[in-house]
Amino acid sequence: MKPLLTTLLLLFVVNSFSQTDQKIYDIIDAVSADRIKNDVKTLADFGTRHTLSDTVSNTRGIGAARRWIKSEFDKISSDCNNCLEVSYQKDLIKKGDGARIVHDVWVVNVLAIKRGTKYPNRYIIMSGDIDSRVSNATDFTSDSPGANDNASGMAGTIEAARVLSKYQFENSIIFVGLSGEEQGLYGGKGLANHALKNNWEIIGVLNNDMIGNIKGVDGVIDNRTFRIFSEPVPPTETEQQRRSRRFYGGEVDGISRQLARYVHKTVKTYMPEMNPMMVYRLDRFGRGGHHRPFNDVGFSGIRIMEAHENYTQQHQDIRTENGINYGDTFEHVNFPYAKKLTAVNAINLASLASAPPAPKNVAIGGIVQPSAKFKWDKVDGAVGYKIYWRDTTSPTWDNSRFVGDVSEFMLEGIVIDNYFFGVASVGKDGYESPVVFPSKTFR
């Protein structure tokens, strides 16, 4: 009887894990390069999507673009029994608020929320940008197709909404087109404040900004590598937290970095042909993106983007100079690659939206002892917990042990000094929360 029961249990476990795997592979396969291509074309054909551009025309300007994005989300929603809550979120920005705001403007974001069945107020967010620009950041009339920057990220976000609308998730997913990026990250700021005001619990933000270029300005052609930017620790940390990092570590283990590692691991597991490249910095050198306003208020957020940029095709007036065609036009975007990066988002959204909340109050002990030990508060929905550890010089969580449904554990023979550690929650289908770096110590 006992061996039979064990066998049945094992079969059940193996079966549920393979169903999880199959679902993730199905999501990857469902992402369509053609639909992304059509949507990038449509967005580029609005002429300009500059934040300060025309809002009345139905064929040109950011007004037409955002109404079209809303209508796409509405269409997706009506195809899934109204499974998306589609809305605008907007803030009035006054002339002179920043150097690039040359007249009063409503910065309008378009949101589609797929409400979570178990944790409706916990959100994982995928963002792209609606707006575009040319050489002069305040030129809101010239043609500015912004095909890669950032119609690619916007189209990827719409496509991920299409694919994931066919599934149910325990946590809420927000698909959002942000505006005002090129004028000073206004749309992200607006939504981050909206999230704070409404007490949204943010699991993380996957910001997509330029996901379609495979041919770098340096001549490198690479359709496998992409970058995941994450800041080391939140800018909101307290002086006390900063001081304790000196003694307990955590310099490269903030919440955004854990989100970056999560994406890296999911891709390595399910899309082994891809080459995710974690970059240990907030963003490109001195440059900005829409994950930052979320980081600014203490939310975890990362930037997902191509590995090789082409600066002759970013923020450029359309022109030919010395035989070089400048401008961010449709024909430079590689759609099979944009499909891959959209799938990267979709499987991480699905995984995070299916996972229980991360363990709370994770504490570590084991000073001058032969073994490291851990305590944490259990969370609703977890069937167990996984302790992760890595060499202090390793970028990834290389070692792990599933320890079951307990709230404390000792790793025998693992000396606390020689590794970094973290704990994740594991849900019934094997989906895991991001890893939590200990924030407390005990003896």
Nearer to Zn ion, 149 or 170 (CB): 149
- How many angstroms from the chain centroid is the CA of residue 242? 26
- Please compute, for residue 123, the number of CA atoms within 13 A of its CA located in the half-sphere on the CB side: 28
Name beta bridge partners: 320: 325
Nearer to Zn ion, 51 or 348 (CB): 51
Nearer to Zn ion, 72 or 328 (CB): 328
Measured distance CA(320)–CA(283) in Å, rounded: 30
Nearer to Zn ion, 316 or 425 (CB): 316
Q: What angle do CA 224, 227, 230 make, to 5 degrees?
A: 155
In the complex, the smallest distance separating the C-beta of residue 353 from Zn ion, rounded to whole angstroms, is 28
Q: List the interface residues with Zn ion, window 146-185 (CB under 5 A).
A: 149
Q: Where are the alpha helices (DSSP H) in 271-334?
A: 292-296
Nearer to Zn ion, 186 or 397 (CB): 186
Distances (CA, A) of 282 to 130, 160, 339, 385: 22, 24, 24, 29
DSSP 228: E
In the complex, the smallest distance separating the C-beta of residue 328 from Zn ion, rounded to whole angstroms, is 8
Nearer to Zn ion, 149 or 159 (CB): 149
In the complex, the smallest distance separating the C-beta of residue 182 from Zn ion, rounded to whole angstroms, is 5
Nearer to Zn ion, 133 or 264 (CB): 133
Nearer to Zn ion, 171 or 316 (CB): 316
* CA torsion, ordered 172, 175, 179, 182, to nearest 10 deg: 110
In the complex, the smallest distance separating the C-beta of residue 38 from Zn ion, rounded to whole angstroms, is 22
Which contiguous run of DSSP H or E holds residue 202? strand 201-208
- How many angstroms from the chain centroid is the CA of residue 321? 37
Nearer to Zn ion, 149 or 283 (CB): 149
In the complex, the smallest distance separating the C-beta of residue 134 from Zn ion, rounded to whole angstroms, is 11
Measure the N-to-C terminal CA separation of the chain; round to a whole number of Å: 43
239 three-class SS: helix
DSSP 149: I
Nearer to Zn ion, 148 or 258 (CB): 148
Nearer to Zn ion, 132 or 172 (CB): 132
Residue closest to Zn ion, measured at CB = 149
In the complex, the smallest distance separating the C-beta of residue 119 from Zn ion, rounded to whole angstroms, is 34
Q: Residue length, the chain?
A: 443
In the complex, the smallest distance separating the C-beta of residue 152 from Zn ion, rounded to whole angstroms, is 11
CB-based burial label for 432 (10 Å; 0-12, 13-18, 19+) = buried
Number of residues that bind Zn ion (CB under 5 A): 1
Give every CB contact of residue 256 below 8 A, 6+ residues apart in sequence: 204, 230, 231, 234, 291, 295, 300, 301, 302
Of 160, 72, 205, the C-alpha closest to 350 is 160
**Nearest 5°: phi and psi at 46?**
-75, 5
In the complex, the smallest distance separating the C-beta of residue 285 from Zn ion, rounded to whole angstroms, is 15
> Is 91 one of the binding residues for Zn ion (CB under 5 A)?
no
In the complex, the smallest distance separating the C-beta of residue 150 from Zn ion, rounded to whole angstroms, is 6
Name beta bridge partners: 112: 86, 175
140 three-class SS: coil
- Contact predicate 205/299, CB 8 Å: yes
- Contact predicate 299/127, CB 8 Å: no
Q: List the interface residues with Zn ion, window 112-151 (CB under 5 A).
A: 149
Q: What share of the chain is helix, strand, coil (3-state, %, to 5)?
A: 35, 25, 40
Residues within the interface to Zn ion (CB under 5 A):
149
